[in-house]
Chain A
Amino acid sequence: MFVARSIAADHKDLIHDVSYDFHGRRMATCSSDQSVKVWDKSDSGEWHCTASWKTHSGSVWRVTWAHPEFGQVLASCSFDRTAAVWEEIVGESNDKQRGLSHWIKRTTLVDSRTSVTDVKFAPKHMGLVLATCSADGVVRIYEAPDVMNLSQWSLQHEISCKLSCSCISWNPSSSRAHPPMISVGSDDNNVTYSGKVQIYEYNENTRKYAKAETLMTVTDPVHDIAFAPNLGRSFHVLAIATKDVRIFKLVPLRRDSTTSSGPTKFEVQLLAQFDSHNSQVWRVSWNITSTLLASSGDDGCVRLWKANYMDNWKCTGILRGDGSPVNGSSVQGLALNTPGSSGAPTPQNSVAGAASAGRYEAQLILRMADFIER
């Protein structure tokens, strides 16, 4: 792997979240400087900041995009106890020429009494639905009944988790066999020995969310949680960032018709557990096809995990900072990074210095060099 490009982010404080839009052509960043920036990718692969504005009166923890079917919509959540929904307004033609766009606030969600720690849109088949979770231990689910009027959101559900919440993840499955499901992670330090991951499921009959499962084996604070894309499977896969990385398989148990009320019962299996970070794991996230899981930990590394065709999980790559200051050069792209040639390898990857990355490649080259006798 190599760094293809570096984008000068220009935030005045720590970046807490970066979010790609659905098609991967736009990006949003949010920061402790209370602002959100939106970046657009040009056809040549360069990123330009097309909007930057103050969104909250406290650190912005997360920013996330709605599905493009609903237009260009962002949601952000903050330490200032609110979450907000933003929509892009197509600007005047001269603005467009200058490559700028405007985002306006459609609504502020003020129901939380404490810092709002996560905000996530539900899968699109549920309509325009948003969930937030807060340090006050409540998960709130909002819906915009009229997708053409984003200023009207109603609080549909309030789920009291009884533990301070740090993260949520919607189950992306749109299968009719799976009712809407949301998982909540808690980083509550005060209550030990209780399961820090809860899974809630929507019940069509009661029209409410009910708790389906608590993962009792996860007792340490949970910092991030992510359902894997479903891929037409009958079971669910959930990754958790806690004192290590854990991947659970949740198999819905068949219900007979007499006990059809109440949430689904699951058989919970631990698929994998990695403690390579040797410390707290802060983020986990799946790629689109759920073939790769990435995790970030206290050791300052991002690790990539992959299952082979035998379903054995292994770490296939590590990213970490080299701890050295950038040597003052311009950071928009490296010199050799033109579309024609593939990105230039960093010194670690070149033939001469193959210590880690590209090691096998280097060895193959050296061997073949004997063989070719140029």
Chain B
Amino acid sequence: MEEVDVEPTTTLIPGVGLKQKHLGFEWGPGDILVYETNFRPAGERSGCPSVHVVRKDEDIYSPILRKLFNESHHIFVGLQNITEDVPSKNKKPQFVSISKNYRSVIRACMEELQHVAGVTCCAHLVLFVLRLHSQVSILLATELIWNLCEVLFIDAAPAGCLLLHLLDWVRLHKADVDEKAKEVLQSDSPTNHLAYWDVVISFILQGRVDEARHVLTKQASVQAASRTLYQLMDTLLHKMPVFNPSGTQTLTEFDMKWRHWHEECDRCLQDKSFASNPHLETICKILLGDEDAMLEHKELLGTWYHFLVSRLLFSHPTVKPAELHYYAKSSMDMFLDSRSVPEPLDSILLAAFEFDLHQVIKDCSIALNNWWFVAHLTDLLDHCKLLQSHNLHFGSNLREFLVLEYASGLVSHHSLWQLAVDYFDHCPEFGRVYLELQLERVPLETERKALKVLRICEQRHMTEQVRSICKIMAKRALSNNRLGSALSWSIRAKDAGFATLISERFLQDYCTRGSFSDLDLIDNLGPAMLLSDRLTFLGKYREFHRLYGENKFTEAGKLLLSLMTAKIAPRSFWMTLLTDALPLLEQKEVHIYTHTHTHTLSCVFVCVFQGEDVETAKLELLRLALARNLAMAIVKEGTVEA
């Protein structure tokens, strides 16, 4: 398979390259920044005017196309979830139905774009409208190609049905006949309408024989003299055999019947029955599959593939799939004159008729400049097990490659990035690592968005990403002095070091202000408290204050003591703790501290006293309180209750 050597497209950056000869760049999310510079600066230099943001031509920012992305995402996910136990053969109707769903989504999008283009009449939005029209055209081409792929590959109709499907395909994409027919039939004198014969011949070329006959009846009622002629034509048309796939007739029987009919038409022509009426004679020739006659009406056919189908209809209606490529190539050659070069669309369709799936996908990737189409189509074809059957040992990688490309394109969008997650999920080889990389980079503008990203990471057990995102949020909150938020993010990140740091800040705040902030958070830490010693201390210390506030002095006292003995209190805090103990020591009514307790407290006191300088007044108070408490304790414990 020859690699098509496609010239890369060049994008010009206006205003750059005049003063400095180099172009600097930097990759960004969904774009690339470029700026004029000189990597080997020497001599005269001057200021740089601008940094330019360059993006791919992808229209993911168009609100109408967004619906296409959303709905096709829905179909994609549904397709992935089809159970594996049913053999592929039996799944064909399902796949065809899914293919039709995709196509209807494309058509819906196209119609909406056309509608918007139609109602937009603002003068300075001309470029916008032009762009809409180009999007419509691309979608039209997309649907045309998809439809053909559905007919040839997914539905994979055998001879007989194949032609019927191809006729449907052509009819769907050449619907202008109906408008013309309506116009002709509704006119005062249909038979004298300029487009009369065009309508008849168009119908015939599309195999819409009954409708052609209907239009022809207008002619017959006018010209009594040629009535027999028209009746003959009507009979011929009426007798034209059409294969019925659900009928009892076999293909061979149909073929025989068709040949008889073909011979009859030929006899009419040889007898010069229609010689007096050139139009009818032309029609007769067409019925006989006369290519020149058909080519005389190129403008009615419009395209070589219409010509191909019409040719097949009238010369070889039992065409087999494998024979298609020969007819396709010759049709294209006959239809296009020697001067015109095949367009990308033509090459793609030809490759499809040649059943060269790989070429179709490759050409579409190049021509359509967006991954949506090839990704979804290839994914569907892969599910139909068509890529493997074409002996592409890298078949599954091709599907994954394209789906990854498509999803990567979605990620930079502020809301479509969530769709990308499902696509990555269904790429078994690289999906996870791509998703990890991309999720890390999703900007966390709000807490709500951060939580959304976190939920996605947690569902997939991406522990490192969870930790990282929480840490980023914690650091941001800390920088903005939102301690409560910083603490809860640190806990979620399971970052002991950071939690310690923030707890210190809380405690410092308490020392300076005398109260705690974010009480709700600290009161409800629960087991998270155990993340770091400092955090545990913070939680417990707050609990002490709560108990004290509720007048539960004994519990409070015990807790305070345990804070000191458990060695989780920071050294700097011991004085504060002792000061907190003071009122408890002074309690007259309730005796809180036993003799042993007081002894412990005294040890702490001694440490503090020996440490840094402390207010002497406070020290004296403490010393006194401790001594008195000890005295009371000794007396109380020593007294035998009477």
Contacts and interface: CB of A to CB of B under 8 A. Distances in A.
Interface of A: 1-20, 22-25, 27, 29, 31-33, 43, 59, 68-72, 88, 90, 124, 148, 174, 223, 229, 231-232, 282-283, 285-289, 291-292, 294, 296-298, 300-304, 308-310, 312, 314-326, 331, 335-336, 339-346, 348-351, 356-361, 363-373
B323 to A, nearest CB: 25
Q: Which of B8, B174, B402 has the most CB of A within 10 A?
A: B8
A20 B345 contact: no
A283 B369 CA distance: 26
B442 interface: yes
Given A3-B53, A301-B23, A357 B63 contact: no
Given A294-B32, A296-B25, A322 B12 contact: yes
A320 B10 contact: yes
Contacts of B26: 17-20, 27, 285
Interface string B415-446: 00000000000000010011001101111110
Contacts of B173: 371
Nearest to A317: B8
Contacts of B464: 174
B176 A319 contact: no
Contact of A368 (B12, B27, B140, B404): B140
A319 B27 CA distance: 13
B21 A15 contact: no
Contacts of A33: 47
A15 B24 contact: yes
B47 A350 contact: no
Contacts of A331: 49-50
B231 interface: no
B433 A318 contact: no
A59 B408 CA distance: 37
B56 interface: yes
A364 B476 CA distance: 49
Nearest to A368: B137
Contacts of A69: 468, 471-472, 475
Given A3-B13, A288-B438, A20 B27 contact: yes
A288 B27 contact: yes
A299 to B, nearest CB: 9
A367 to B, nearest CB: 5
A282 B140 contact: no
A13 B49 contact: no
Contact of B18 (A296, A325, A335): A325
B372 to A, nearest CB: 14
A17 to B, nearest CB: 7
Interface string B450-477: 0000000000000010001001100110
Contact of A298 (B13, B18, B21, B128): B21
A25 B46 CA distance: 28
B448 interface: no
A309 B398 contact: yes
Contacts of A286: 27
B27 A326 contact: no
Contacts of B131: 341-342, 344-345
B24 A361 contact: no
B302 A4 contact: no
Interface in B28-69: 28-41, 45-57, 59, 61-63
B635 interface: no
A369 B402 CA distance: 29
Given A70-B475, A231-B437, A371-B174, 14 more contacts: A9-B50, A12-B47, A19-B26, A20-B33, A68-B475, A124-B468, A148-B501, A285-B25, A291-B408, A310-B394, A314-B6, A358-B57, A363-B343, A364-B368
Contacts of B302: 370-371, 373
A360 B140 contact: no
Nearest to B134: A365
Contacts of A351: 130, 134
A342 B476 CA distance: 33
23 contacts: A2-B11, A13-B46, A18-B25, A18-B51, A23-B442, A71-B476, A294-B32, A298-B22, A300-B23, A302-B23, A302-B32, A309-B398, A319-B23, A320-B12, A320-B16, A321-B13, A321-B14, A324-B15, A326-B15, A360-B369, A366-B343, A368-B137, A371-B303
A346 B24 contact: no
A288 B11 contact: no
A302 B434 contact: no
Contact of A357 (B11, B39, B48, B405): B11
A297 to B, nearest CB: 8
A318 B8 contact: yes
B21 A25 contact: no
A318 B428 CA distance: 33
A223 B38 CA distance: 13
Nearest to A366: B343
A287 B411 CA distance: 13
A351 B133 CA distance: 10
Contacts of A309: 394, 397-398, 401-402
A351 B472 CA distance: 46
B315 interface: no
Q: Which of A12, A232, A288, A321 has the most CB of B within 10 A?
A: A321
Contacts of B438: 288-289
A22 B28 CA distance: 9
B55 A321 contact: no
A324 B11 CA distance: 14
B621 interface: no
Contacts of A22: 440-441
Contacts of A359: 9
Contacts of A174: 464
Given A1-B11, A368-B137, A31 B28 contact: no
B9 A1 contact: yes
Contacts of A148: 501
B134 to A, nearest CB: 5
A43 B414 CA distance: 10
A31 B48 contact: yes
Contacts of B367: 360, 364
A108 B481 CA distance: 27
A319 B412 CA distance: 21
Q: Which of A10, A13, A69, A287 has the most CB of B within 10 A?
A: A69
B15 A350 contact: no
B369 A361 contact: yes
- Please give me the 6 A-B residue pairs with the lowest Cβ-Cβ distance, nearest first: A321-B17, A321-B16, A326-B15, A24-B29, A309-B401, A282-B39
